[in-house]
């Protein structure tokens, strides 16, 4: 990790960094190319070229506006890489390339921006993707909030893989890769200045390597999705609606870390609606569930994977939960806003 030259340590973003002129060029050279550079990005054209074989590509985009910019377990830079890599992985795809567009607020310390860019570079390297094009804009102080990062990714889907949210069928099994609520509670604790006995860290992580192993073992997986904003409850409702099926969950099977459960109780929040950034839901045929679970548990990012429910016929596409105490309740979409600017 090589940092900015010493005299720039106190420098801040000003409007000239967004001019497209000399200051923009210097920012690109001394910061973006320095850390993210590769032969495609370095070329300096307004777009990047890459060769592909014939096949099925996927594309996904996400703007990241998380506040605060730095939080336990990550920052907006790593999150911006993981978010888009994971959206591509949820189609069973191998992520290849990312673009990164920055909207900077005047006054942002350059050393914070550099820390974020270094974090992006290391997340991209770990996930095996390259940032091949980018953009930088600057807005006046009070018209932005530090930095917003929009990443867009392109990936390639292995032949024979056809994963989509509309493919869940009655009789299918619902798997979850691990404990829920970690990311949202980590952000909220940092924001509110809360401290718990055990620090709660975001689960922000790139899931593409896990998915690659899952797809290799069970190429016929029906649906994959990462339960980010809106949490597990909303993600399952989306899948139920897309596939026009119902989903029955077993509350006791859904992993929640004790410190996350305690924080939720304290704050009056339901972990089912809290965002995750390193978890996935998988839906597959009943006979594929055990092999898939075994592959998941063998991967460090899904050691606590569990079968949490099953798909049933329901024209109203409801998600229902069998509670710990034997009762049943409907798990609705998130209504309103539980935690703003979580990602």
Contact partners, residue 271, CB within 8 Å, separation at least 6:
180, 181, 185, 231, 232, 256, 260, 261, 264
258-297: contacts with a copy of itself (CB under 8 A): 273, 275
CA distance 296 to 207: 11
Choose the stretch contacting a copy of itself; rule: CB under 8 A; options: 69-77, 128-136, 213-221, 254-262: 128-136
Does 57 sit near a copy of itself (CB under 8 A)?
yes
Instruction: Specify whether the CB–CB gap between 175 and 289 falls below 8 A.
Output: yes
- 101 or 307, CB closer to a copy of itself? 101
Does 91 sit near a copy of itself (CB under 8 A)?
yes
6-25: contacts with a copy of itself (CB under 8 A): 14-16, 18-25
Instruction: Specify whether the CB–CB gap between 238 and 225 falls below 8 A.
Output: yes
Does 68 sit near a copy of itself (CB under 8 A)?
no
Q: How far is the CB of 130 from a copy of itself (least distance, A)?
A: 11
Does 212 sit near a copy of itself (CB under 8 A)?
no
Contact partners, residue 212, CB within 8 Å, separation at least 6:
89, 94
- For the four alpha carbons of 260, 263, 264 and 265, in that order, the dihedral sign comes to positive
- 224 or 293, CB closer to a copy of itself? 224
Does 43 sit near a copy of itself (CB under 8 A)?
yes
* Strand blocks (E) in 158-266: 173-176, 223-225, 246-250
Instruction: Specify whether the CB–CB gap between 253 and 309 falls below 8 A.
Output: yes
Does 330 sit near a copy of itself (CB under 8 A)?
no
**Residues 307-326 as x/- pattern, contact with a copy of itself by CB under 8 A:** --------------------
Q: Which of 12, 34, 56, 250 binds a copy of itself (CB under 8 A)?
A: 56
CA-wise closest residue to 87 among 150, 145, 27: 150
Does 59 sit near a copy of itself (CB under 8 A)?
yes
């Amino acid at each position: 990790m090589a940092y900015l030259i010493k005299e720039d340590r106190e420098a801040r973003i000003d409007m000239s960094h967004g001019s497209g002129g000399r200051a923009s060029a210097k920012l690109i050279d001394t910061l973006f190319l320095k850390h993210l550079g590769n032969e495609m990005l370095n070329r300096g054209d307004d777009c990047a070229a890459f060769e592909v074989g014939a096949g099925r590509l996927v594309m996904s985009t996400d703007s990241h506006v998380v506040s605060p910019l730095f939080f336990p377990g990550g920052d907006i830079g790593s999150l911006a890489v993981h978010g888009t890599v994971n959206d591509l992985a949820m189609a069973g795809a191998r992520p290849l390339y990312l673009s990164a567009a920055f909207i900077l607020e005047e006054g942002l310390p350059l050393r914070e921006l550099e820390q974020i860019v270094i974090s992006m570079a290391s997340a991209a390297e770990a996930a095996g993707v390259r940032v091949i094009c980018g953009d930088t804009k600057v807005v006046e102080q009070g018209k932005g909030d530090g930095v917003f990062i929009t990443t867009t990714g392109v990936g390639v889907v292995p032949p024979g893989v056809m994963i989509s949210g509309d493919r869940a069928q009655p009789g299918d099994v619902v798997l979850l890769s691990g404990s829920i609520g970690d990311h949202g509670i980590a952000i909220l604790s940092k924001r509110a200045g809360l401290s718990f006995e055990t620090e709660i860290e975001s689960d922000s992580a790139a899931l593409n390597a896990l998915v690659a192993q899952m797809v290799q073992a069970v190429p016929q997986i029906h649906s994959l999705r990462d339960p980010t904003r809106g949490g597990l409850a909303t993600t399952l409702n989306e899948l139920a609606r897309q596939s026009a099926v119902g989903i029955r969950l077993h509350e006791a099977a859904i992993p929640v870390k004790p410190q996350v459960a305690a924080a939720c109780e304290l704050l009056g929040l339901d972990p089912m609606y809290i965002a995750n950034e390193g978890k996935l839901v998988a839906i597959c045929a009943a006979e594929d569930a055990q092999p898939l679970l075994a592959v998941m548990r063998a991967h460090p990012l899904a050691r606590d994977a569990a079968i949490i429910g099953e798909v049933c016929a329901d024209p109203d596409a409801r998600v229902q939960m069998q509670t710990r105490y034997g009762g049943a309740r409907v798990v609705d979409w998130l209504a309103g806003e539980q935690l703003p600017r979580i990602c």
